[in-house]
Amino acid sequence: MDVGLSIAASGMVAEQVREDQYANDLANASTPGYKATADVQSAFGAILMQSQGQSVGQIDTNTEITGQVPDVTQSALQSTGQPLDFAVSGAGFFAVKTANGVHYTRNGQFSQSASGDLVDANGNQVLSQSGQPIKVSAGGSVPVSTIGLFNVRSPVAVGNNLFTGSAAGKPNGLIEAGVLESSGVDPAKTIVGMIASLNTYQAGQQAIQAINQTLQESATSAGSLPGA
């Protein structure tokens, strides 16, 4: 494959991934405790360019999105007055028990299950500091002291506002009752990013069209040469 085509195509794929992430962030602009993510893009597959046996440098043949890093900076806290709404002020995550093991979240919009357990928006049991389910009292409340708060290293988003990661020690944050942390998405900034990503994608399309036209012209010229 032509190097230019490979570069343009891989760039377009990377922008598709980025657009999907921007769309997901916008969809969660009002989700409590949601954390926007930044895509990590890197180049790979460098080719050493030479002229008459002399090295003239390298050219990267492709780019790709190699990971996504959540921005766990605390967002504004908003009072709701609801007894099962909680927010982390400062560092830390709530822990919930899912079908795939213990995951972590900053979304403290909890409720009571049919069995009386404190659960998150996905129906997962919220866990105490010792990793046990938490019961909601007959009055429909839960003491803040019963809810676990965990320090999670290198959290990785896995969907549904949940994260995986290695929990080590208790963070310095505090849990507040009757409040929720607002979404970490800045809609205006996200839309600007989407437009920039779309422009980059379209530039890749134009590059492919230009290269394709050049290749066609080259093929036509070669075919018209004497003896071809």
DSSP 111: E
Give pTM, 2 decimals: 0.75
Polymer length of the chain: 228
Q: Percentage of the chain with pLDDT > 90?
A: 54
pLDDT value of residue 75 = 95
pLDDT value of residue 49 = 47
Structure-token pair, residue 193: 């990013």
Domain boundaries, the chain: 3-71+185-223, 77-181
Under the banding of pLDDT at 50, 70 and 90, the label for residue 226 is low
Q: Residues 78-109: pLDDT tens digits?
A: 999 999 999 999 999 999 999 999 999 999 99
pLDDT value of residue 14 = 82
pLDDT value of residue 66 = 66
Average per-residue pLDDT for the chain:
85
CA distance 43 to 21: 20
pLDDT value of residue 218 = 72
- Specify the residue for token string 């009757």: 178
Cβ atoms within 10 Å of 65's Cβ, excluding its own? 17
Q: For residue 179, what is the enclosing H or E element?
A: strand 179-181
Among 27-36, 40-49, 142-151, 163-172, the least confident range: 40-49
Q: What is the signed CA dihedral for 106, 110, 115, 117, rounded to 10 degrees?
A: 50
Q: Is the pLDDT of residue 228 over 70?
A: no
Assess contact for 164 and 100: CB atoms under 8 A.
no
Q: Residues 171-190: pLDDT tens digits?
A: 889 999 999 999 999 999 99
Average pLDDT of the segment spanning 13-36: 90
Torsions phi, psi for 122 (to 5 deg)? -100, 5
Select from 147, 45, 41 the least CA-distant residue to 104. 147
pLDDT value of residue 60 = 55
For CA atoms 107, 112, 115, 121, the dihedral sign is negative
Q: At what angle do helices 3-27 and 187-223 cross, to 10 degrees?
A: 160
Question: CA separation (Å) from 2 to 7, 8, 61, 171, 203?
Answer: 9, 10, 10, 52, 17
Question: CA separation (Å) from 154 to 38, 43, 163, 166, 183?
Answer: 14, 23, 9, 7, 20
Measured between its terminal Cα atoms, the distance across the chain in Å is 23
